[in-house]
Amino acid sequence: MICIKTKNKKIVAAAKDVAFLLEDRRFYEAISLTVFEGTTSTGDDIALYLQRVLALEDVIVYGYCKWWANELAVYKSSKPNSVGINKCRLKRSHASICGSIVHEIIHLVDRFIEDAEFGHPKKHTHNRDKTAPYRIGKIAMYLINEYY
């Protein structure tokens, strides 16, 4: 379940749509059909991991403000059930904010799956956009724009 721990309207609206997306068959079908870099897991694997972890774990969405940083959102393994959205980086589309929440949720799921890794390098590399957090964030943006 998604638990929203912020009053920021843009984050609340995005987290609500992400909650619907996480129940949407089209989301998992798109993930299943995607090839990811930086992992040995297939799209099918990751779609199953996502459903497995989300059936057991709550996801807390909170807001924080780091006006001096470019980061849009954060996941910290010290707060394993939480994803943070930078309230000072919200001058962007609803779909983009949804994509950030989903990107961090992929890190959360990765943290709970012990026998697989599907993160991305910290620095910008040529294939970073093809890793699971980035590609699934883009899938979320696409579906939100197209159907929500």
Q: Which is nearer to Zn ion, 23 or 80 (CB)?
A: 80
Q: What are the beta bridge partners of residue 3?
A: 60
Closest separation in Å from C-beta 9 to Zn ion: 24
Tell me which residue has its CB nearest to Zn ion: 133
Stretch that binds Zn ion, among 25-33, 35-43, 87-95, 130-138 (CB under 5 A): 130-138
Closest separation in Å from C-beta 106 to Zn ion: 8
Q: Which of 131, 133, 140, 141 binds Zn ion (CB under 5 A)?
A: 133
Stretch that binds Zn ion, among 10-18, 21-29, 44-52, 133-141 (CB under 5 A): 133-141
Stretch that binds Zn ion, among 27-35, 56-64, 110-118, 129-137 (CB under 5 A): 129-137
Closest separation in Å from C-beta 117 to Zn ion: 13
Closest separation in Å from C-beta 3 to Zn ion: 21
Quote the CA–CA distance of 36 and 139 in Å, as a whole number: 12
Strand 73-74: give its sheet, edge to edge: 2-5, 59-64, 82-86, 73-74
Chain residues in the site for Zn ion (CB under 5 A): 133
